Amino acid sequence: MEDKRLVALFRGQAKNQRLPLKFRDHSIKEPIESGWKEQCEAKIRRSSVTICLVGRMTHLSDAVNWEIRKSVELDKAVMAVYLVDGHPPLPAALQENSTRPVRWKINEIMTGIRRVVE
């Protein structure tokens, strides 16, 4: 939630017809008070790739770690994109999965997606 504005910009790129990045956004846009794990798992099951957007505070989120671990458990590809410059700390689940984030550059994101789905 701390990076809400940056996440919205990332989502918006999928709507830009001039960019080769196309995806269906199954992310949870608002906090879910009850049953969030079941709703999140259903969204992960419908996806082929889970993209973790890494901001300055992402590594502190238990929910992010749960989502990454659930994706791995469900045999879904996982990749990560830095939302900010530098190298903010990674969530433990990304480290466990040896996932190295790419920079927020369309060509790097496209290469990263192709790499994890092949």
Please write the tens of the pLDDT for every residue from 41-93.
Answer: 998 998 889 999 999 989 998 989 999 999 999 999 999 999 998 889 999 99
Q: What is the mean pLDDT of residues 8-35?
A: 67
pLDDT beyond 90 at 14: no
Q: What is the mean pLDDT of residues 91-114?
A: 91
State which amino acid sits at residue 35: G
Give 114's pLDDT tier (boundaries 50, 70, 90): confident
Report the largest interatomic distance among the alpha carbons of the chain, rounded to a whole angstrom: 39
Inside any domain, residue 57: yes
Into how many domains does the chain fold?
Answer: 1
Any domain includes 90 = yes
The yes-or-no verdict on residue 30 having pLDDT over 80 is no
> CATH number, domain at 21?
3.40.50
| 3-state SS track over the chain | CCCHHHHHHHHHHCCCCCCCCCCCCCCCCCCCCCCHHHHHHHHHHCCCEEEEEECCCHHHCHHHHHHHHHHHHCCCEEEEEECCCCCCCCCHHHHHCCCCCECCCHHHHHHHHHHHHC
Q: Which domain holds residue 92?
A: 4-26+37-117
| Residue 29 pLDDT level (bands cut at 50, 70, 90) | low
Whole-number pLDDT of residue 117: 83
